[in-house]
Amino acid sequence: MPAKNRFPHFLVALALWAPAACKEKPADEGPRYGTNPALEARATYRFGIAPIYNPAKLNFEYQPLMAYLEAQAKPGKFVLEAARDYAHFENKIRGDALEFILPNPWQALEAMKSGYEVIAMAGDPEDFRGLIIVRRDSEVQKPEDLKGKKVSYPAPTALAACIMPQYFLHTQGLNVMADLDNCYVGSQESSIMNVFLGQTAAGATWPPCWRAFQKDHPEKAAQLKVMWETPPLVNNAVMARKDLPAELKDQVRAALLKLPETPEGRAILANIETGRFWASTDADYEIVRTYVEGFESEVRTVERK
């Protein structure tokens, strides 16, 4: 065996165990020399997803997408980063703490202020609409039947599952802030479960989470129904920090757009309840700015915590 290939087994194991991205050593330690070439450094890219599910379910649904991106955009490691609630996720955006994010369209406008740019749209625009769920045995038949009753939403900044349903109820003659007992319950599934348990008379969600709930809890879903749905707007954004290399952003965009082309990609899309990704830019989200301005002038201010 050539001398250059002699390497103690325990050092090989240690080299394989060592984290890919390490903190830079102080300069006074000087360079280190060895008989083998150093392992190639790999950057770590944190990918934050809006908390449409609880962290455990979010990880289950989106981890295959992270593995796919890691294989397509080399070299680099993609790490899924969950948030405990909408406010936590939005604080991460404002703190410029993540390399890639998948926010709702209102959060995308906030992210633009913090140095992010849109590189793709996640799902068809027609699939981004608010749903208002009631029990099948509910006495609620028309919007005015909700007066004085509790209505659940994931969070006050959930666009499809709160802002759009509240705007819809406003157009139906309700004073959303005075006529309803608005309950912000933390997640899409919790909003639906509050209705199932009879803790709220109605609950807001959006199509991907309603489809997931029907698959995960078919017996519970059978006791619920969609009473109203809002017109669509524009779907969630995939965004990247502007300071990332253009080549990396192009690789990620291209990888997302070609997901429907392979069985593996179609399985990933089915897992995250997304039809496909579309090429998109910041300009596609200006419609959201106009929409939210109308909502704020007529209904309430969108809380920024």
- If asked whether residues 148 and 286 sit together in one domain, one would say no
Largest CA distance in the chain: 84
- If asked whether residues 72 and 203 sit together in one domain, one would say no
Answer whether residue 17 is part of any domain: no
- Domain hosting residue 110, numbered range: 44-126+234-298
Over the chain (305 residues), the average pLDDT of each successive run of 10 is 42 38 42 41 88 86 96 87 90 90 96 97 96 98 98 96 98 98 94 98 97 96 98 97 95 97 97 96 97 97 77
- If asked whether residues 193 and 108 sit together in one domain, one would say no
- If asked whether residues 211 and 247 sit together in one domain, one would say no
Answer whether residue 263 is part of any domain: yes
Answer whether residue 305 is part of any domain: no
- If asked whether residues 287 and 251 sit together in one domain, one would say yes
Residue with tokens 């649904």: 61
CATH of the domain at 277: 3.40.190.10
Q: What domain count does the chain have?
A: 2
Residue 194 structure tokens: 């509050």
- If asked whether residues 122 and 134 sit together in one domain, one would say no
Answer whether residue 29 is part of any domain: no
Structure confidence at residue 97 (pLDDT): 82
Structure confidence at residue 95 (pLDDT): 87
- If asked whether residues 241 and 219 sit together in one domain, one would say no
Of 229, 264, 284, the one marking the end of a domain is 229
> Would residue 123 be called left, alpha or beta, if left means φ above 0 and alpha means ψ between -120 and 50 degrees?
left
Q: For the whole prediction, is pTM greater than 0.85? A: no
Of 229, 245, 279, the one marking the end of a domain is 229
Answer whether residue 243 is part of any domain: yes
DSSP per-residue string spanning 95-156: TT--SEEE--HHHHHHHHHTTEEEEEEES-GGG---EEEEETT----SGGGGTTSEEEES-T
Answer whether residue 16 is part of any domain: no
Structure confidence at residue 109 (pLDDT): 96
Answer whether residue 141 is part of any domain: yes
- If asked whether residues 186 and 165 sit together in one domain, one would say yes
- Is residue 110 packed enough to be buried (19+ CB in 10 Å), middle (13-18) or exposed (0-12)? middle
Cα–Cα distance, 140 to 152 (Å, whole number): 15
Answer whether residue 10 is part of any domain: no
- If asked whether residues 142 and 222 sit together in one domain, one would say yes
Query: Other C-beta atoms within 10 Å of 181: how many?
Result: 13
Of 176, 210, 229, the one marking the end of a domain is 229
